[in-house]
Amino acid sequence: MPVVSNVTCPVCGSFCDDIEITVKNDVIVKVKNACAMGEAKFLNYASHRQTKPLIRKNGELVEVSLKEAVQKAAEILASAKYPILYGWSNTSCEAIRVGLELAEEVGGVIDNTSTVCHGPSILSIQDIGISSCTLGQLRHRADLIFYWGSNPWSAHPRHIDRYTTFAEGRFQKSAWRGYLSRLTGILSKKRLHRAVNLGLGRQTPSPPETELRLPSTLLQNKRKMIVVDVRKTRSAEIADYFLQVKPNKDYELLQALRMLVRDEELDVDKVTGIPVETLEEIVEIMIGCELGILFFGLGLTMSQGKHRNIDAALSLVRDLNRRTKFLIMPMRGHFNVTGVNVVFTWQTGYPYAVDFSHGYPRYNPGETSVVDILCRGESDAALVVASDPVAHFPNVAAQKLVEKPLVVIDPQVTPTSIMADVVIPSAFVGIEVEGTAYRMDHVPLPLKKVVEPPTTCLSDKEVLQKILGEVRRLRRNHN
């Protein structure tokens, strides 16, 4: 059976490139090296699939030819005054490029999923700047790893393994063994606690999450990991130390750390419930590291303060660089959400929320971002590519999206495609068609083709090119 090696995984922003796929009669039968999420995609992508284009007629979605669907999609977009073109982070850079051309042609707003994930991070990076690097550098050199408001164990399952704490680097060894002994400790502590409760017939609450005394492993000269979050996530459990922050209090904590890094006095005893002495010890460890990295996730960008939280995190890292070497990186979610920002920027000058209605690109998140446009009820049609806003946008916004003509290009059946007026199923990029995507550290990698797509499914790029061609023809005839 043919085995395809070095396949990239088109799921999360870790964009692992070491997957091995066994193919039998053009069907994927075995997946090696991927995590549960990656494996689920490679093995199940084809179940629950719609392969023929659909158009809504008398309230029902009915199968039509590709030509008819493309025609209808082009009519909707060409006749709209202010259409939204949204999605893009789960497709190839090549398709995104055609999408931008289409947005300019129809004078619409093109926005991508970073608007509802790391949009605030981008705003803040534009203000403050970022000291960043590639993941390879961290794998070999980072000795202090922070995950703040991010739960890689669940959202980027192989991140810790491939790039940070558990990776075997050239200059930093994997901290896997230390974790194993810690795990045994945690389990026996939990067991003991339960036994005591059972024996005494009572339910005592478990001890508080943030331990006030820092564990000795943090002082040793080896790779260590600290997790800051509102709950003790799986990632927090495997960390050397977990710092629990109250919901919406990250900004305070970050600013307090900044003050301590700058040797300023804090005239309070506690910050968000954490004693200042504990924070002082943490800052000691930060300053004492050789190369630190702060990965941050949606816990920072989505909670109160939004981009101001990121301002504080970027500034903390800037301050730290006066004392040691420290870097920072957002934990990007979808496999090509970094690519979408890159392609948007090189084509239009802006990373997301780009408005072409004036004939030239304009960027003003809060005004030209898709959730705001929907909430104000300004758009009159939408094209969604490889994304599921109906499931993930706040309901109020999703309702406005569904009220107006909606075209969806997606290989999967999703709540958005179920609600659409025109559905054009495409081939899975990274499984059935090739392309390029950017890993979260801005390293571009190829998406491979391992099996043939169904004959009725073209790539996102080809579908978009057909729609663009048809829109141009309609507009020419109109003029």
Interface residues with ligand SF4 (CB under 6 A) are 9, 11-12, 14-16, 34-35, 37-38, 156-158
How big is the CA angle at 63 (ends 59 and 67), to the nearest 5 degrees?
A: 115
By beta-carbon proximity to other proteins, the closer residue of 26 and 60 is 60
**Min dist. Cβ of residue 450 to ligand SF4 (A):** 14
**Min dist. Cβ of residue 63 to other proteins (A):** 17
How big is the CA angle at 116 (ends 110 and 117), to the nearest 5 degrees?
A: 120
Partner interacting with residue 286 (select from other proteins, ligand SF4, none; CB below 5-8 Å by kind): none
The one-letter code for the residue type at 408 is V
Partner interacting with residue 9 (select from other proteins, ligand SF4, none; CB below 5-8 Å by kind): ligand SF4
Partner interacting with residue 158 (select from other proteins, ligand SF4, none; CB below 5-8 Å by kind): ligand SF4
**Min dist. Cβ of residue 462 to ligand SF4 (A):** 25
**Min dist. Cβ of residue 203 to other proteins (A):** 9
**Min dist. Cβ of residue 304 to ligand SF4 (A):** 29
Q: How far apart are CA 365 and CA 162, in angstroms?
A: 34
Radius of gyration (C-alpha) of the chain in whole angstroms: 24
Closest CA to 242 of 272, 276, 208: 208
Which of helix, strand or coil describes residue 477? helix
Q: How far apart are CA 163 and CA 177, in angstroms?
A: 17
Partner interacting with residue 6 (select from ligand SF4, other proteins, none; CB below 5-8 Å by kind): none
By beta-carbon proximity to ligand SF4, the closer residue of 241 and 335 is 335
Specify the DSSP class assigned to residue 41: H
By beta-carbon proximity to other proteins, the closer residue of 141 and 307 is 307
**Min dist. Cβ of residue 414 to other proteins (A):** 5
Partner interacting with residue 15 (select from ligand SF4, other proteins, none; CB below 5-8 Å by kind): ligand SF4
Token reading at 156: 């980027």
Partner interacting with residue 34 (select from other proteins, ligand SF4, none; CB below 5-8 Å by kind): ligand SF4
Partner interacting with residue 390 (select from other proteins, ligand SF4, none; CB below 5-8 Å by kind): other proteins
By beta-carbon proximity to ligand SF4, the closer residue of 38 and 425 is 38
**Min dist. Cβ of residue 161 to other proteins (A):** 14
Token reading at 184: 């045994």
By beta-carbon proximity to other proteins, the closer residue of 291 and 310 is 310
DSSP string covering 376-397: HT--S-EEEES--HHHHS-HHH
By beta-carbon proximity to ligand SF4, the closer residue of 83 and 297 is 297
Q: How far apart are CA 201 and CA 207, in angstroms?
A: 18
Partner interacting with residue 115 (select from ligand SF4, other proteins, none; CB below 5-8 Å by kind): other proteins
By beta-carbon proximity to ligand SF4, the closer residue of 42 and 251 is 42
Give Cα 180 distance to the centre of its chain.
29
DSSP string covering 405-451: -EEEE-SS--HHHHH-SEEE--PPBTTTB-EEEE-TTS-EEEEPP-S
H or E element, residue 144:
strand 144-148
Exposed e or buried b per residue across 331-340, where buried means at least 16 C-beta atoms within 10 angstroms of its C-beta? bbbbbbbbbb
**Min dist. Cβ of residue 226 to ligand SF4 (A):** 21
By beta-carbon proximity to ligand SF4, the closer residue of 14 and 115 is 14
HSE of 135, CA atoms in CB hemisphere, 13 A: 26
